[in-house]
Chains A and B, each alone.
Chain A
Amino acid sequence: MSTAASPLHPAADPASDDAHGHDAVERGPFAWVATVDHKRIGILYLCTAFFFFCVGGVEALLIRLQLARPNSTLLSPDAYNQLFTMHGTTMIFLVVMPTLVGFGNYFVPLMIGARDMAFPRLNAMSYWLFPFGGFLLHFSVMAGGAPSGGWFAYTPLTETPFSSTQGTDYWVLALLVLGVGTVATAINLIATILTLRAPGLTMGRVPLFVWMTFVTSILMVLALPVLNAAVVLLLVDRQLDAHVFLASGGGNTLLWQHFFWTFGHPEVYIMALPAFGMISEIIPTFSRKPIFGYEFVAASTVAIAILSFGVWAHHMFAVGLGHSADLAFAGSSMLIAIPTGVKIFNWIGTMWGGSIRFTTAMLFATAFLIQFVVGGLSGITFAAAPIDWQVTDTYYVVAHFHYVLFGGTAFAILGGVYYWFPKMSGRLLSERLGRWNFWLMVVGFNLTFFVQHFLGILGMPRRVFTYPDLPYWGALNMASTVGAFVMGLAALVLAANIAISLRRGKVAGDNPWDAWTLEWATTSPPPHDNFHEVPPVHGRRPLWDLAHAGDAAQPTEPVAPSRPRRAEPVLDKGVVAVWSFIASEAAFFLILVIAYVFFNLSGVAGAAGPSAASVLDVPKTAVFTGCLFASSFTLWMSEKNLEREAHGAAARWLLVTVALGAVFLVGQASEYLGLFHRGVGVATNLFATTFFTLTGFHGLHVTMGLVALLIVLGRLLAGDFRHHRSSVLRAVGLYWHFVDVVWLVVFSLVYLRAAG
């Protein structure tokens, strides 16, 4: 990558190997279907998410209609229960996450001066998994009924005896599909941010939206696989008659909650951090000052991400885990408020002393500050476990999470829409309609949800299809319903604003807000390859620096000019992607390993039925294990030979690797067959369930690895590797070694413990 002195250097990554050389490619009727352009994919995400927002919004309005009056029989309990389950699942997985990913997709490459994401075709696949997942979820309506176990699907309610329709199964399948897409996007974003930044754009200079998206992507890589593993186990229970989460079969119902919330709490930060990133772009632009405390906003984000994995059981205070556990999680949950508070104060510090223009985007950002703090403070009350013991599972909690997710994230997104719509479409949204949109939304939102704090305190539980005529319950619920319809009106105004402005809005120009980050250094909308020329980057505000080039009085960033700039290490995007993928797979396997350990090695479950010691042939498996470990060595030999350009030798070592891997798979297949013949199947007992799940998924990964190795071998033999492609083998090799490491863990825990 060149570090040219002139401003005419091209956008980053000239060695990109995908189909971006062509200009006329993205026209025609299938252009949007076949696109790999991150900008179009971003818009596809946003439009599809808006569609699901309308679906989820109608579900919400039906819920509020049913709750407007006590003892209402407008909707049947079953219909209502499906509605609130679908509303929650839709809003989280089909609206908020895709919207944030859509904005990230569109703007991260622009903000870092890149031509596209690191892996454009992976990006397209990730998008298409989104409508597919949404379709799977909604197909359930025609297949016996939508899921009705709530968005967090607590067992045993969602096990077959209590949820006999297929709704829950479609819910699981949809989440698996959506989860794969999300992790793929996260890997893509991590690789893009780490390897495609324009020269001069260090991680200490990227816009905070990029920082937040980066940290969010790491959270996605680690948290979504946890959900995937949990729902896989639920599916095994439901479809293969296992009892992982059923106490009646020796399982543990609370294990579901531990797994789910280990995903669930990082998930809420996944939904919050990119929104924080948007706020961190909007407020400085309209306050005409840089963000206050950039390093602290970035560092507090990292702190939140780390802490978010340590607070999950605050969702389980009412379960009765014991005071030690409750107190520990109360402490960690209170701690996580501090970095969030740091951000709030830095945003206020940005506004303070500024010259604030209250455009619609800024209005939404200002309302965000107040509303998110209200939600955050009610969250603090929950961290104090005894208070949670009163108000959890009531409308107080519904109020809390809507304040942070709607009053917070959704308002930030609305700000982002008004801020970035001109860049995406070339036209400004109407400020007049924007003000109507804003005020209707503020009034409607606060009316809907503020009163719900009181309902919870008065004793109204959540997820009830109706309620008795107790004092104030009817009046407060009616007020909340009225507010919801005002919100619906606000959404209509937004839709109208977008529709009208797309055709008749004022032309925006490159930089209508006079902002300073790189997305504003190109046309609106940007050309296919994003930039005709990327401006030089010497600080956090490249356009400010360009405009104030000779202006010694205004420092660009607080760094002594004489300090030599450390050369950025050149990371290979394939290697970054594989390490991120390995991290996601490690999280997935961790859950399966925990399930195995919990039911077999912790002395918790009773010891009825087959066990590792009684049915496993350790010596035979040791032989196949030896083959698998040997294959890591032969693969390493192949890599070494490729580096020395000894392509023939590399291909031979690769062939031996594939053969050794195949021997392992044959060995595992014969082991499985032996077990089946002895009557040991997935559902026989919890040893069997956890054994087959853990080793089965490992076998699946070995299979995938073999396919990847065969593809590489084919390319090698076809002569594709004469052009410095050894990083591909290195990347696949890393994955293969990881699969071996997983087997090392499994072999030790399952087989060696059995023999010992």
Chain B
Amino acid sequence: MSAAPLGSTFDPHSPEALAISTLFGQTLAVCAVIGAVVAGLVATCVVRFRSGKRPEVPVQMQGNRSLEIAWTLVPLAIVVGLFVLTAGAMAASDPPATRAPDIVVVGHQWWWEARYASGAVTANEIHVPVGKDLLVRVESTDVIHDFWVPQLGRKVDAVPGHPYSISLQADAPGTYLGACAEYCGAEHAWMRIVVVAQPQADFDAWEDRQRRPAALPSPANAEATRGEAEFRAKTCITCHAIGGEGPPAQVAPDLTHLAERTTLGAGVLANDPAKLSRWLHDPQGVKPGSHMPDLHLSDREVSDLTAYLETLQ
């Protein structure tokens, strides 16, 4: 992934992220002033009160009550101000969930499942229409994960048994990168998130495609046709759903439209045929500890399956 965006907390692309970065800027400014005051005082002491130019026994001051009161009350006032700003930013950056979610995001070890209210199901790469305020409910089926896309807003833990809904709204088209932000085991590092914001029309087209079942490969494509048969014969279908066929609960990422996605393995590889073959050949080598077993596929099986999966637009 070469020209990746600078996914910074200070590069907000949603009203919620903007509320947070504003608060962050204000708080940092206050902290900078306090830090400068403290550093300045310490530096002054270092320069002005070095023993060389001072009396051997300086004035033995015990304390000063007025100063104590001042440097208790002034920070208290700052804290009260900060508290008020915080309360406001909380409301702006995390609006309450008042309706059914538009997208349900489920954390698994180590990939993200995304189910749209419209019925579309995908994994790891989430598309959203630009400018629309979506409600995303975040859950988990195993351990605690965390859904975080810094440019779009707050992070929220995916706690098994404790779902929580956040607002997701991208105000400009583009690709926004995120990551799982709660240590969840071996491959926590490779549980990355891609959010693609598209104009409404493009998003609608994408969602329509996602809801359509996978087309069988054309018989002219012999490799892909063999691959489709091998996908069932090698038991891939028992974990990975394709076009509505497959396990009732999501055990592994839905692959119905795998070929469209930008990454594989929740971000560990870019999505191109060569890398897909590498993944099929040696999943434990690419992402050790992940739940995809090494099926000891032969080279021909790998190329057949790659050809088939590449047809899943």
In chain A, residues 382-423, which have Cβ atoms closer than 8 Å to a Cβ of chain B?
Answer: 383-387, 389-394
In chain B, residues 20-49, which have Cβ atoms closer than 8 Å to a Cβ of chain A?
Answer: 20-21, 23-24, 27-28, 31, 34-35, 38-39, 41-42, 44-46, 49
Q: A334-B83, A386-B20 are in contact. Are A319 and B157 (CB under 8 A)?
A: yes
Which chain A positions have C-beta within 8 A of B153? 389
Q: Could you say which of A198-206, A211-219, A366-374 contacts chain B?
A: A366-374
- A390-B24 in contact (CB<8A): yes
Bound form: Cα–Cα A290–B62 in Å: 6
Bound form: Cα–Cα A172–B249 in Å: 34
- B146-A318 in contact (CB<8A): yes
Bound form: Cα–Cα A466–B24 in Å: 27
- B61-A289 in contact (CB<8A): yes
- B164-A387 in contact (CB<8A): no
- A353-B61 in contact (CB<8A): yes
Bound form: Cα–Cα A133–B31 in Å: 40
Closest to A252 in B: B161
- B51-A356 in contact (CB<8A): yes
Closest to B263 in A: A468
| In the complex, A674 has a CB within 8 A of chain B | no
Q: Which of the residues B67, B157, B184, B289 comes within 8 Å of A345, measured between beta carbons? A: B67
| In the complex, B19 has a CB within 8 A of chain A | yes
Which chain A positions have C-beta within 8 A of B9? 390-391, 457-459
Q: Tally the A-B contacts, defined by beta carbons under 8 Å.
A: 282
Q: Could you say which of A73-81, A120-128, A567-575, A637-645 contacts chain B?
A: A73-81
- A320-B61 in contact (CB<8A): no
- A461-B64 in contact (CB<8A): no
- B46-A356 in contact (CB<8A): yes
Bound form: Cα–Cα A3–B161 in Å: 65
| In the complex, A619 has a CB within 8 A of chain B | no
| In the complex, B180 has a CB within 8 A of chain A | yes
In chain A, residues 211-264, which have Cβ atoms closer than 8 Å to a Cβ of chain B?
Answer: 247-248, 252-254
Q: A348-B42, A457-B8, A471-B4 are in contact. Are A323 and B94 (CB under 8 A)?
A: yes
- B157-A293 in contact (CB<8A): no
Bound form: Cα–Cα A69–B31 in Å: 32
| In the complex, B131 has a CB within 8 A of chain A | no
- A77-B186 in contact (CB<8A): yes
| In the complex, B134 has a CB within 8 A of chain A | no
- A459-B177 in contact (CB<8A): yes
Closest to A320 in B: B164
Bound form: Cα–Cα A313–B252 in Å: 33
Q: Which of the residues A292, A355, A380 comes within 8 Å of B63, measured between beta carbons? A: A292
In chain A, residues 308-350, which have Cβ atoms closer than 8 Å to a Cβ of chain B?
Answer: 318-320, 323, 326-327, 330-331, 334-335, 337-338, 341-342, 344-346, 348-349
- B181-A461 in contact (CB<8A): yes
Closest to B91 in A: A323
- B164-A296 in contact (CB<8A): no
- 1/0 per residue, CB under 8 A from A, across B143-165: the answer is 11010101001111101111010
Minimal beta-carbon separation of B305 from chain A (angstroms)? 25
- A384-B146 in contact (CB<8A): no
| In the complex, B196 has a CB within 8 A of chain A | no
- A471-B6 in contact (CB<8A): yes
Minimal beta-carbon separation of B44 from chain A (angstroms)? 8
Minimal beta-carbon separation of B97 from chain A (angstroms)? 10
Which chain B positions have C-beta within 8 A of A326? 90
Closest to B22 in A: A386
Closest to B189 in A: A464
Minimal beta-carbon separation of B189 from chain A (angstroms)? 4
| In the complex, A352 has a CB within 8 A of chain B | yes
Assign chain B's interface to a size class. Answer: 35 or more
| In the complex, A295 has a CB within 8 A of chain B | yes
Q: Which of the residues A354, A374, A394 comes within 8 Å of B45, measured between beta carbons? A: A354
Which chain A positions have C-beta within 8 A of B272? none
Which chain A positions have C-beta within 8 A of B172? none
| In the complex, A751 has a CB within 8 A of chain B | no
Bound form: Cα–Cα A295–B35 in Å: 25
Q: Which of the residues B58, B86, B177 comes within 8 Å of A385, measured between beta carbons? A: B86
Bound form: Cα–Cα A335–B78 in Å: 10
Which chain B positions have C-beta within 8 A of A351? 42, 45, 49
Which chain A positions have C-beta within 8 A of B187? 77
- B62-A557 in contact (CB<8A): yes
Bound form: Cα–Cα A163–B267 in Å: 24
- B183-A463 in contact (CB<8A): yes
Q: Could you say which of B69-77, B229-237, B275-283 contacts chain A?
A: B69-77
- B185-A459 in contact (CB<8A): no
Which chain A positions have C-beta within 8 A of B160? 156, 247-248, 253
Minimal beta-carbon separation of B54 from chain A (angstroms)? 4
- B38-A386 in contact (CB<8A): no
Q: A366-B46, A393-B182 are in contact. Are A288 and B23 (CB under 8 A)?
A: no
Q: A348-B41, A459-B7, A461-B179 are in contact. Are A293 and B63 (CB under 8 A)?
A: yes
Q: Which of the residues A346, A354, A374, A390 comes within 8 Å of B49, measured between beta carbons? A: A354
Which chain B positions have C-beta within 8 A of A468? 1, 4, 192, 267
| In the complex, B85 has a CB within 8 A of chain A | yes
Which chain B positions have C-beta within 8 A of A366? 42, 46
| In the complex, B201 has a CB within 8 A of chain A | no
- B24-A381 in contact (CB<8A): yes
| In the complex, A701 has a CB within 8 A of chain B | no
| In the complex, A469 has a CB within 8 A of chain B | yes
- B177-A320 in contact (CB<8A): no
- A370-B143 in contact (CB<8A): no
In chain B, residues 76-94, which have Cβ atoms closer than 8 Å to a Cβ of chain A?
Answer: 76, 79, 82-83, 85-87, 89-91, 93-94
- A162-B185 in contact (CB<8A): yes
Closest to B44 in A: A352
Minimal beta-carbon separation of A509 from chain B (angstroms)? 19
Which chain B positions have C-beta within 8 A of A463? 183, 188
| In the complex, A29 has a CB within 8 A of chain B | no
| In the complex, A357 has a CB within 8 A of chain B | yes
- A390-B90 in contact (CB<8A): no
Q: Which of the residues B59, B60, B68 comes within 8 Å of A342, measured between beta carbons? A: B68
- A394-B181 in contact (CB<8A): yes
Bound form: Cα–Cα A462–B42 in Å: 33
| In the complex, A276 has a CB within 8 A of chain B | no
Which chain B positions have C-beta within 8 A of A596? none
Q: Which of the residues B24, B56, B144 comes within 8 Å of A253, measured between beta carbons? A: B144
In chain A, residues 140-187, which have Cβ atoms closer than 8 Å to a Cβ of chain B?
Answer: 149-150, 154, 156-157, 162
- A157-B156 in contact (CB<8A): no
| In the complex, B10 has a CB within 8 A of chain A | yes
- B85-A389 in contact (CB<8A): no
Which chain B positions have C-beta within 8 A of A349? 61, 63-64, 67
| In the complex, A287 has a CB within 8 A of chain B | yes
| In the complex, B274 has a CB within 8 A of chain A | no
- A458-B83 in contact (CB<8A): no
Q: A292-B61, A384-B89, A386-B154 are in contact. Are A356 and B50 (CB under 8 A)?
A: yes
- B41-A352 in contact (CB<8A): yes
- A318-B42 in contact (CB<8A): no
Closest to A85 in B: B183
- A288-B57 in contact (CB<8A): yes
Q: What are 30 A-to-B residue pairs whose CB atoms are below 8 Å?
A: A154-B183, A156-B142, A253-B144, A292-B63, A293-B68, A323-B94, A327-B86, A330-B83, A337-B75, A341-B75, A346-B68, A348-B45, A355-B58, A369-B38, A370-B38, A377-B35, A384-B23, A386-B90, A389-B94, A389-B155, A390-B21, A391-B9, A394-B181, A457-B10, A459-B148, A461-B188, A466-B189, A468-B192, A469-B4, A558-B62
The 8 closest A-B CB pairs, nearest first, are: A247-B161, A320-B164, A389-B154, A464-B189, A355-B54, A463-B183, A293-B63, A377-B31
Since A345-B71, A459-B148 are in contact, a sample of 7 more A-B pairs with Cβ atoms closer than 8 Å, ordered by chain A residue number, is: A157-B144, A319-B159, A345-B67, A346-B63, A386-B94, A463-B188, A470-B7
A residues lining the B interface (CB < 8 Å)? 76-78, 81, 149-150, 154, 156-157, 162, 247-248, 252-254, 287-290, 292-296, 318-320, 323, 326-327, 330-331, 334-335, 337-338, 341-342, 344-346, 348-349, 351-358, 366, 369-370, 373-374, 377-378, 380-381, 383-387, 389-394, 457-459, 461-472, 554-555, 557-558
